[in-house]
Amino acid sequence: MKESYKKLATKISNEIIEAVEKEIAKHIGKKESGDIVKIGADGTPTSYIDIIAENIVIDILKRQNENFFLISEEIGELIIGKGKEEQINIYEALSRENTDYSELPKLIFLVDPLDGTSNAIKEIPSYGISVAVAETPEGRMATLDDVKLGFIKNFTNGNYFEARKGEGAWLNGKTTKPSEETRISNISIGGFTKNSTVAASKLIDTARRMRVLGSVVLELSYVGSGKYDAFLDLRGSRIIDIAASKLIVEECGAIITNNYGEKLNNKLSIHEKAIVVAAGNEYLHEQIIDIINDNEKEIIAKIGIVSRVDDYKSILFSIKIIDFLFKNGIDIEIETSLALKLQELKNNPKLNYILHRTKLESPEIEEYIDDLKFDIDFKEYSAKLDKFDCDMAIILGGDGTLLRTQSKMTQEIPIFGINLGTVGFLTEIEIKDTFKALKTVIKGNYYIEKRTQLRVSYEDQRYYALNEVVIMTEQTAKMLHFEVQVDDEVVEEFRADGLIISTPSGSTAYSMSAGGPILDPKVGGFIIIPICPFKLGVRPFIVSDNSEIKIKLLKKGKKAIFVMDGQINEEAEYLEEIKFRKSKKKVHFIRTSSKYFYKKVKDKLKEGGLSSEHECWE
């Protein structure tokens, strides 16, 4: 931002703050100040005192000698200045084709004229004003990154915060710094949670003290000055409330992100909101992110290794991983069939030929198998999957290998998948990223993602599926007659080639191929997808994962096969019910980034995600 614009914006902001403070002082504590006069542009009720404060902002900007964009709580989005004001949609103004940017305002004012309105009306000493100023970008929507100046004043005690991007932040003219406290049990935390947020309740119960003062603007700024050790708003704060205080927090050296630890860079809009997690230092912030995501990480001291055993590429690569783990002081256990295959390969007289052939057919792992060490007694580390007792399981293969593995493990062991199969949607990384990612994970820098499973009940048996259950006829090209109940209500009856009950994890697998929607794994739902139904009105639908789904076969004399994750097949007959509920047991994945799902969708589905696959040969 040009220095001339900084000076102008600072002058206008201070004029606004002084004028609003002087005028609303006449209305503090008065009953009529709280009268609701309209619904604001952001969809919330507007009090009389809010209108008074905002009218001052409008009046000051309107009489300036140049135009500005204004985003304000009650009136919404305007172009204002030179004696005029015009309602506008800033996004449309900035993204319109053939826009002449030289004609548009150079600055965007984001103003919450009175934050803590209820406090002001009741004379509770926690209310103030927030003014942020952003530079108007060319060719794109303005975001929080474009905010260059921030000004906040606490009207009850006179404290004045100011920040300039890249230059610093000040409280009452003095440089301020955030808290260095790193122990959750010692912190003072402010903010707002949502109902039934169990993880957040755990955080608050652990913290030394919790404050809810009713002003996001002021409380978030307190993180920058060390008055609070941390602040969070899990409801979602309006961008106009956090635009100035976010800049203050960052310029003071504190940390502010969303609830997944990702940078806040939301667009500047009256309707935009962001979940906020701020802390005085990086170490405290990481702890809070882990707790609210129910992602408290354990030290990884022992790792299990599982691999395809019909593919030399996977088998040989597992040796490289085993060697890497030993060198990094990690104990291991090797799935029994892999341990036997490795021991057999170690003694195979054709080993050199196998290595040479694998390098030719799989050049992507050539550099990793040049110097493999076979001086390990692999059988010594052998363990059956249902006896695995480790902190993490590395699985080498594709989604099929991963699904087979997790279905046989009896403990909730976090899974780290390395894609040596075809699509590898559930796996975490590709071959080339393996050792960089493992170094990161061993250091404790990882996320735990918990995926929902289906629990399938049939007669007195229980089965589990991470992706989906497919119900189909024994005979090719024969239809089945289904009745579908959700929570004991019949929702559909139809004939079809088959039926899929899918979790969000399975929404990118068979479910998607059959016409079902892609479902974010964080969504609490199951998808019911008829396969080629003989009824035009039958379409896939999503039900709550708290519901019980019952499927009944109505055609006498026809058997059906239901298949869990392509691994386990069972038979069902006429009028027999198959019941589906959410399993209490979840599947845990180790992720190196919280931005996993949508990146995977783009990477894996844009071209079918296919890669070559080789089986063992002699």
DSSP annotation string for 441-500: HHTT--EEEEE--EEEEETTEEEEESSEEEEEESSTT--EEEEEEETTEEEEEEEEEEEE
Q: Answer for the pair 530, 494: CB distance below 8 angstroms, yes or no.
A: yes
User: Per the domain annotation, does 142 fall within a domain?
Assistant: yes
pLDDT band at 606 (very low <50, low <70, confident <90, very high): low
pLDDT band at 199 (very low <50, low <70, confident <90, very high): low
Single-letter amino acid code for the residue at 521: P
Residues 115 and 193 in one domain: no
Query: Distance between CA atoms of 220 and 248, rounded to whole angstroms?
Result: 9
pLDDT (0 to 100) of residue 612: 42
What residues have CB less than 8 Å from 239, skipping those under 6 apart? Answer: 71, 110, 144, 266, 267, 268, 269, 272, 273, 274
pLDDT band at 607 (very low <50, low <70, confident <90, very high): low
Residue 309 DSSP one-character state: S
Please write the tens of the pLDDT for every residue from 298-350: 778 899 999 999 989 999 999 999 999 999 889 999 999 999 999 999 899 99
Please write the tens of the pLDDT for every residue from 355-377: 999 999 889 888 888 888 888 89
Domain end position, chosen among 272, 292, 312: 292
Q: Average the pLDDT over 275-304 and give the result.
A: 86
pLDDT (0 to 100) of residue 609: 47
Q: Answer for the pair 388, 298: CB distance below 8 angstroms, yes or no.
A: no
User: Per the domain annotation, does 481 fall within a domain?
Assistant: yes
pLDDT (0 to 100) of residue 613: 44
User: Per the domain annotation, does 316 fall within a domain?
Assistant: yes
User: Per the domain annotation, does 166 fall within a domain?
Assistant: no
- Please state whether beta strands 331-335 and 302-307 pair in parallel, antiparallel, or not at all (unpaired): parallel
User: Per the domain annotation, does 89 fall within a domain?
Assistant: yes
Please write the tens of the pLDDT for every residue from 516-549: 999 988 889 999 999 999 888 889 999 999 999 9
What residues have CB less than 8 Å from 106, skipping those under 6 apart? Answer: 5, 66, 135, 136
């399993």: which residue's tokens?
A: 583
pLDDT (0 to 100) of residue 27: 93
Residues 532 and 411 in one domain: no
Residues 405 and 514 in one domain: no
pLDDT band at 610 (very low <50, low <70, confident <90, very high): very low
- CA distances to 219, 285, 297 from 200, in Å: 18, 14, 16
pLDDT (0 to 100) of residue 136: 92
Q: Answer for the pair 230, 208: CB distance below 8 angstroms, yes or no.
A: no
Q: Is residue 113 scored above 90 in pLDDT?
A: yes
Residues 502 and 598 in one domain: no
pLDDT (0 to 100) of residue 446: 85
pLDDT (0 to 100) of residue 611: 45
Residues 321 and 277 in one domain: no
Residue 365, domain CATH: 3.40.50.10330
Residue 241, domain CATH: 3.40.190.80
Please write the tens of the pLDDT for every residue from 457-516: 998 889 999 999 999 987 766 889 999 999 999 999 999 999 999 999 999 889 999 999
Residue 40, domain CATH: 3.30.540.10
Q: Is residue 268 scored above 50 in pLDDT?
A: yes
DSSP strands (E only) in 312-381? 331-335
Q: Answer for the pair 505, 577: CB distance below 8 angstroms, yes or no.
A: no
Q: Is residue 596 scored above 60 in pLDDT?
A: yes
Please give the tally of structural domains in the chain.
Answer: 4
User: φ and ψ at 223, to 5 degrees?
Assistant: -65, -40
Sign (positive/negative) of CA torsion 493, 498, 504, 510?
negative
The set of catalytic residues is: 399
Query: Distance between CA atoms of 435 and 39, rounded to whole angstroms?
Result: 55
What range does the domain containing 512 cover?
454-585
- Please state whether beta strands 174-175 and 168-171 pair in parallel, antiparallel, or not at all (unpaired): antiparallel
Residues 474 and 437 in one domain: no
Query: Distance between CA atoms of 76 and 43, rounded to whole angstroms?
Result: 10
Q: Is residue 614 scored above 60 in pLDDT?
A: no
User: Per the domain annotation, does 612 fall within a domain?
Assistant: no
- CA distances to 94, 112, 199, 220 from 231, in Å: 33, 19, 15, 6
User: Per the domain annotation, does 471 fall within a domain?
Assistant: yes
pLDDT band at 275 (very low <50, low <70, confident <90, very high): very high
When mean pLDDT is compared across 124-128, 193-197, 394-398, 570-574, the lowest value belongs to 193-197
Residues 365 and 309 in one domain: yes
Q: Answer for the pair 152, 130: CB distance below 8 angstroms, yes or no.
A: yes
Query: Distance between CA atoms of 555 and 573, rounded to whole angstroms?
Result: 9
Residues 275 and 311 in one domain: no
Residues 516 and 462 in one domain: yes
Q: Count other Cβ atoms within 10 Å, centred on residue 111.
A: 28
Q: Which two tokens stand for residue 236?
A: 């979602």
Residue 548, domain CATH: 2.60.200.30
Q: Average the pLDDT over 158-163 and give the result.
A: 96
When mean pLDDT is compared across 116-120, 229-233, 293-297, the lowest value belongs to 293-297
Residues 509 and 593 in one domain: no
What residues have CB less than 8 Å from 130, skipping those under 6 apart? Answer: 110, 111, 112, 115, 150, 151, 152, 217, 240, 241, 243, 244, 245
Query: Distance between CA atoms of 233 and 192, rounded to whole angstroms?
Result: 5
DSSP letters of 107-173? EEEEEEEEE-HHHHHTT-S--EEEEEEEEPPSSS--BGGGEEEEEEEETTT--EEEEETTTEEEETT
pLDDT (0 to 100) of residue 575: 81
Residues 55 and 35 in one domain: yes
Residues 463 and 442 in one domain: no
When mean pLDDT is compared across 145-149, 529-533, 603-607, the lowest value belongs to 603-607
In the sheet where 128-135 sits, what is the strand order?
Answer: 84-87, 76-81, 68-72, 107-115, 128-135, 147-154, 160-164, 168-171, 174-175
User: Per the domain annotation, does 615 fall within a domain?
Assistant: no
